[in-house]
Amino acid sequence: MSEVLREEASAAEEPEYVLEARNVSKHFTVRGPLGRTSVVRAVEDATVRLKPGQILALVGESGSGKTTLAQMLARFHEPTSGEILLRGDPVRGAGRRARRAYHSEVQLIFQDPFGSLNPLHRVRYNLDRALRLHQPQLNAAMREQRITELMERVSLTPAAEFAAKFPHELSGGQRQRVVIARALAVEPRVLLGDEPISMLDVSIRLEMLNLLQGLRTEDGLALLYITHDIASARYLCDEIAVMYAGQMVESGPKEEVIAAPQHPYTKLLIESSPDPERGVGDRDALFEGADELGEPPSLIDPPAGCRFHPRCPFAMAECVSQAPPRTELDNGHWATCWLHVKGRAGELAQTTHAAATTARREMLQGAS
């Protein structure tokens, strides 16, 4: 077979998704003060798919399960049920060799760059160790060359000068660049970024987002970008998936999800994010009465029916007792909300979350 035909055949065999979590759940058993055990349902029946060169933002507030989902994709936790597929093949094998092979394709970038670098060693050692583990064919001179390339790739120049520093001698942004360089050392296909910019100064967040964007366009990396910040997701990603209380509630193309959210929780997240086109006064008006919105539910004993119903101003009788089905919309956009089944989804575009909350409160007061 000619080289061209071989390349075409291998491209044809390449699966559509480089990494996939298919219907994964993760339950943790925890022991209470009196020795009683409880089950935390951190993630329930979640599906995430990443294509090569795609950036998917996974958004939700703290405790929504997004970090647990990323840790399953990074194989730090095995799913309680469901499966992870890498290039279409189910991921198996718990041994060190199987994990190392997996991590040569999938790398996780943590929120805290300081905690993820060995503070006792210089930057050069931190990168060299990753190369020795994942690129054993490289000799010392080749590794040194590679370290220089990696430092330049993340704009830490002069490379030799930065490579000789200890992590504590770098700024937060420089440390996170080293973490990204170390992830790139293994030549992965997928990066999982768990709030990778949230601990950085606002002034350097944009630089970091542009660096991640460059890795996608120039290296074809797929990126799962985990954040509670809709504004950065809007800037960086192609698609958005929204998690609430361990479940995925909406997903679709970025423009559609942000311009016309199809789940009340997504609408709440978007309306609570800073928007320069909406003045501070407008935002305050949006959030008049927001402290009545309540807290996220316990994942030990989550609400029956739709988990968002105690906080939802659109809730109806079905929402309290029955989990809403998934409704497929256009362009791969979907949402799980009874409003779609009941033909009431248009209400989402007609009001703000806060106005709907006020209207609901007045209705309940009138009825009592």
Binding residues vs ligand SF4 (CB under 6 A): 263-264, 306, 308-309, 312, 314-315, 319, 324, 337-339
d(CA 303, CA 248): 15
Closer CB to ligand SF4, 91 or 312, in the complex:
312
How many residues in total does the chain contain?
368
Closer CB to ligand SF4, 123 or 306, in the complex:
306
Closer CB to ligand SF4, 182 or 307, in the complex:
307
Smallest separation (angstroms) from ligand SF4 to the CB of 55:
26
Closer CB to ligand SF4, 59 or 306, in the complex:
306
Smallest separation (angstroms) from ligand SF4 to the CB of 336:
7
Smallest separation (angstroms) from ligand SF4 to the CB of 366:
20
Helix H, strand E, coil C: the string for the chain is CCHHHHHHHHHHHCCCCCEEEEEEEEEEEEECCCCCEEEEEEEEEEEEEECCCCEEEEECCCCCCHHHHHHHHCCCCCCCEEEEEECCEECCCCCHHHHHHHHCCEEEECCCCCCCCCCCCCHHHHHHHHHHHHCCCCCHHHHHHHHHHHHHHCCCCCHHHHHCCCHHHCCHHHHHHHHHHHHHHCCCCEEEEECCCCCCCHHHHHHHHHHHHHHHHHHCCEEEEEECCHHHHHHHCCEEEEEECCEEEEEEEHHHHHHCCCCHHHHHHHHHCCCCCCCHHHHHHHCCCHHHHCCCCCCCCCCCCCCCHHHCCCCCHHHHHCCCCEEECCCCCEEECHHHHCCCCCHHHHCCHHHHHHHHHHHHHHHC
Closer CB to ligand SF4, 250 or 256, in the complex:
250
Smallest separation (angstroms) from ligand SF4 to the CB of 266:
9
Smallest separation (angstroms) from ligand SF4 to the CB of 247:
11
Smallest separation (angstroms) from ligand SF4 to the CB of 286:
18
Smallest separation (angstroms) from ligand SF4 to the CB of 160:
55
Closer CB to ligand SF4, 211 or 337, in the complex:
337
Closer CB to ligand SF4, 55 or 315, in the complex:
315
CA distances from 366 to 60, 125, 313 (A): 33, 68, 15
Smallest separation (angstroms) from ligand SF4 to the CB of 67:
23
Closer CB to ligand SF4, 134 or 309, in the complex:
309
